[in-house]
Amino acid sequence: MKGVAEQGPEAPGRASRTDRPDEHRVEVVERGSFSFAQCGCGWFAPGRRSRDKSRRDAAGHLAENGADSNVA
């Protein structure tokens, strides 16, 4: 059985993957004592105990893809 930090995000109804920067919608989600960043393109970061680190992961993903750096 996987620990919470090793589980991928569950995002039912997520939009299909895309490489268009305007389609990158990143949010930081909490699950138990862990948080992780996930994007509408299908990307997600590993579970972190630090919400700040999750936000930095999200900002890094947006920067790498040339998208606006707003993180929900």
Q: Quick check: is 64 in a domain? A: yes
For the chain, count helices (H), then strands (E): 1, 2
pTM of the model: 0.65
Which residue range(s) make up the domain with 64?
A: 21-72
Q: Quick check: is 53 in a domain? A: yes
User: Taking 60 as the threshold, does the pLDDT of residue 65 lie above it?
Assistant: yes
Do the beta carbons of residue 38 and residue 26 sit within 8 Å?
A: yes
Q: Quick check: is 33 in a domain? A: yes
Residue owning tokens 């389609």 = 23
Residue owning tokens 């590993």 = 46
One-letter amino acid at 25 equals: R
Q: Quick check: is 2 in a domain? A: no
Where is pLDDT greater, at 63 or 9? 63
**What's the structural domain count of the chain?**
1
Estimate to the nearest angstrom the gap between the alpha carbon of 31 and the chain centroid. Answer: 13
Do the beta carbons of residue 43 and residue 11 sit within 8 Å?
A: no
**Confidence tier at 54 by pLDDT (50, 70, 90):** very high
